[in-house]
């Protein structure tokens, strides 16, 4: 299974990505700003989602809002 970012670059476990859009996290007061760098992503069984940790919280992000660094 190939997991691609918003630009079509292939993502792998451990890659660093940046957010391309401000995102509100459901069920939390956390707002993620555009340009936030997320390190050491983990791929999931779903090709449209990656698992990561931001500020100590485990979050699942959609690949359509990510850009590979």
Q: Where are the domains of the chain?
A: 3-68
Cα distances from 7 to residues 2, 23, 25, 26, 64, in angstroms, run 13, 18, 23, 25, 9
The whole-model pTM stands at 0.88
Q: How confident is the model at residue 57 (pLDDT cuts 50, 70, 90)?
A: confident
**Separation CA 53–CA 56 (nearest Å):** 6
Q: Which fold has domain 3-68?
A: SH3 type barrels. (2.30.30)
Nearest to 64, CA basis, from 16, 1, 3, 14: 3
Tens digit of each residue's pLDDT (9 = 90 or more) over 33-55: 999 999 999 999 999 999 999 98
């Amino acid at each position: 299974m190939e997991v691609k970012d918003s630009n079509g670059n292939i993502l792998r476990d451990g890659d660093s990505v940046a957010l391309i859009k401000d995102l509100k996290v459901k069920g939390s007061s956390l707002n993620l700003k555009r340009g936030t760098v997320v390190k050491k992503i983990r791929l999931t069984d779903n090709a449209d989602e990656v698992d990561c940790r931001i500020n100590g919280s485990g979050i699942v992000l959609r690949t359509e809002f990510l850009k590979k660094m």
